[in-house]
Amino acid sequence: GQSLEQPSEVTAVEGAIVQINCTYQTSGFYGLSWYQQHDGGAPTFLSYNALDGLEETGRFSSFLSRSDSYGYLLLQELQMKDSASYFCAVRDNFNKFYFGSGTKLNVKP
Amino acid sequence: DAGVTQSPTHLIKTRGQQVTLRCSPISGHKSVSWYQQVLGQGPQFIFQYYEKEERGRGNFPDRFSARQFPNYSSELNVNALLLGDSALYLCASSLQGHEQFFGPGTRLTVL
């Protein structure tokens, strides 16, 4: 079946670096996306990897290894406003989108 | 530019009733997707529409249906509501599919 696994919760201090992992199992693969969602808000797009390697966007980087069905989101120079839930998501060959259950990031001063 | 808009913001229904949720995509976006999000979980894919045609369907019962109009806006209909349908319903529009822009959602409560 289809599944995405990511840690349920991660805690880090302001200014630190944190990595959120995601492993997936889907029928076909079009790419791995990452979304951020603050409590009470809508998910917002962070990054997308279609090919293996690292994509960098400001303080956020995302990595993909298709052979390992694995990716991660790296957040650097953590700020209090980064406290939110982070979701990995994939699209399969049948135009279905799958989201992980989310990782709640707690940033402490 | 306006983002994705959804209406209504909140809705309370009773079991067995029917509900229609509405979504307007970002101007120029032809793809609209619908998701159900239960508190504490990730969005669950319901439908994707592109150019008024259904392109993808998630594992939801036939009580759930949707359509897309010529102006690319979309409606999600849910019949015979169950208590378990209580959730946040999110609409997302996109140009290329992988970068989706979500609306604020409709909070549906079924009593």
Measured in Å, how far apart are chain A's first and last C-alpha atoms?
Answer: 40
Nearest CA in chain A to B33: A97
Nearest CA in chain A to B58: A96
pLDDT of residue A30: 86
**Partner A contacted by B45 (CB < 8 A):** yes
CA distances from B64 to B57, B71, B76, B80 (A): 10, 22, 7, 9
Contacts of residue B101 in chain A, CB cutoff 8 Å? 45
Q: How many CA atoms lie within 13 A of A101 on its CB side?
A: 8
Strand partners, B21: B76
Mean of pLDDT over chain A: 94
Q: What is the CA radius of gyration of chain B?
A: 13
Q: With 90 as the cut, is the pLDDT of residue B77 above it?
A: yes
Contacts of residue A44 in chain B, CB cutoff 8 Å? 102
Strand partners, A71: A22, A64
Contact A99 B99 (CB under 8 A): no
pLDDT of residue B4: 97
How many Cβ atoms sit within 10 Å of the Cβ of residue A65?
Answer: 14
pLDDT tens digits, chain A, 109 residues: what are they?
A: 679 999 999 999 999 999 999 999 988 888 999 999 999 999 999 999 999 999 998 999 999 999 999 999 999 999 999 999 999 999 887 778 899 999 999 999 9
Query: pLDDT of B25-45, one tens digit each?
Result: 999 999 999 999 999 999 999
Contacts of residue B33 in chain A, CB cutoff 8 Å? 97
